[in-house]
Amino acid sequence: MSTVRRPDHHRSERHGGHRSARPAHSTGLRHVLTHLITPLLMCIGMGLAYLGAFANPAPHDLPVAIVGSGRSAQLLAQSINDRAHGDLEVRTVGNRAAAVEQLKHEDIFGAYVIDARAQGATARDARSDGAGSRGARAHGAGAHGARAHDAGAHGARGASADAVGGAAAAAAGSARPAPELLVATAGSDTSASVVQKIFTPLAAQQGAPLKVTDVAPTAEDDPTGQGVFFLLVAISIGSYASVAVIGGAGAGLPLRLRAALAIGTSFVVSLIGAAFAGPVFHLVDHGLWGVWGMAWLYSAGILLIGTGLHTFLKRWTTLGVMALFVMLNFTSSGGIFRPEMQNGFFAALHSFWNGAGFVEGTRSHVYFDGYGLSGHLWTLVWWLVVGVLTVGAAALAEKRRRAAEAETAANAVAVAAAAVAATVPPRQPRGVEDEDLEEELEEAVGV
């Protein structure tokens, strides 16, 4: 019985097909691996930024105050400074009203009143009528204060190893104190919580519960004050994601038209942000138009910078704007932890980055009567100026690129024309020899 064998040419075709498929797969795999670099770099960048900024928050020279003008207040402030090892920057403030003012100016983030009743009595005495009687009472109080000062100093020298508790007890005297902690959660809820954890044990050592008073509370529907940070996140994503659309889908449009699209998109994004802040989630209870204006400045800066960078970065633009406006921006904005709770790198960025300008500007406008608002507005304006300059640089680069491409195309046409001219001989004019040849052909065909 004979065996039927497959022709060799079928086998060769099959192996040839496999050989041609392998290079195609290899090329496709390299293409995928090359594009995977971007998300992997995003992963690394986000991990370094977020964990570096938020993983281990700790106070660094966090400014707080002890309310009081006597030696006991100074001793308490000094003892806390010595025990804090640079974590706190403790100062003394003469009275409760001055402490409240410094809290509302964000010069301090907590003020410990050793005895709130004594502060209240001092304030009432200051408002009493009769200059003579005030002088007499001041003289009597001075004598009593001198005796209390001697007792306080003696108590501080004879205190146990806990210097903070000893100084507080000496300041309180024989009467049971009424300690009070002043905070401003609108400035930073996390900083207020840290301050409260620091001073609660101190009040316990005084033998009295700590009364916490919030002198700058947040809006009722934003109890932690972090809604402003998440508003920043929404506006940022709407802005830098639009950069990819304008740069990619609009790559064939003139740059001036792309810049106009960026400005228009920022207007829409800022309106969406204002809607979230006001009627949708009630993050702010007043000053909504001011919040919208800062949202527009912030969004326009991002969109113009991203639109300009797309000319230079091309497919790396997404990674670039994420590094600028997510990795470095969210972490340094102060929306979760203020710079006093972060390391030096992110604390330094907070002083000039655009996210910090928006968050701190919104806080200043809504909760702190506009104190320091102009500085935050200038931060946003300067980032907008950077965006305009970036678009200008991109316009110059694209103009030079177009000129170079036109010159290259003209040179290519000239070379092609020269090559054609060199290979095709020129047509000769009709002469006598051509006429003789024509007559011979006519005779040959019998014409």
Radius of gyration for the alpha carbons in the chain, expressed in angstroms and rounded = 38
Q: Which residues are CB-neighbours of 187 under 8 A, at least 6 positions away?
A: 103, 106, 109, 216, 225, 338, 363, 367, 368
Token pair in block for residue 281: 């989630």
The 3-state secondary structure of 219-247, one letter per residue: CCCCCCCCHHHHHHHHHHHHHHHHHHHHH
Beta strands at 180-183 and 111-113: parallel, antiparallel or unpaired: antiparallel
- 304-337 pLDDT, tens digit per residue, is 999 999 999 998 999 999 999 999 999 999 999 9
Token pair in block for residue 276: 């979230």
Compute the average pLDDT of residues 185-200.
Answer: 93
Q: Which residues pair with 89 in a beta bridge?
A: 63
Q: Which residues are CB-neighbours of 92 under 8 A, at least 6 positions away?
A: 65, 66, 67, 68, 69, 73, 74, 77
The helix or strand, by DSSP H or E, that contains position 64, with its residue range, turns out to be strand 62-67
pLDDT band at 154 (very low <50, low <70, confident <90, very high): very low
DSSP calls for 78-117: HHHHHHHTTSEEEEEESSHHHHHHHHHTTS-S-EEES-HH
Token pair in block for residue 181: 């902690």
User: Looking at the predicted structure, is the pLDDT value of residue 197 above 70?
Assistant: yes
Give residue 88's identity as a one-letter amino acid code: L
User: Looking at the predicted structure, is the pLDDT value of residue 156 above 50?
Assistant: no
Please name which of 155, 77, 79, 85 lies closest in space to residue 110, comparing C-alpha atoms: 77
Token pair in block for residue 185: 């959660």
Helices (H), 158-186: 163-172
Q: Which residues are CB-neighbours of 39 under 8 A, at least 6 positions away?
A: none
Most confident of the ranges 22-36, 113-127, 216-230: 216-230
Of residues 176 and 272, more confidence is placed in: 272
Report how far apart, in Å, the C-alpha atoms of 339 and of each of 175, 323, 347 are.
39, 19, 4
Q: Which residues are CB-neighbours of 86 under 8 A, at least 6 positions away?
A: 60, 61
Compute the average pLDDT of residues 166-175.
Answer: 46
Q: What is the pLDDT of residue 72?
A: 86
pLDDT band at 424 (very low <50, low <70, confident <90, very high): low
User: Looking at the predicted structure, is the pLDDT value of residue 436 above 70?
Assistant: no
User: Looking at the predicted structure, is the pLDDT value of residue 164 above 50?
Assistant: no
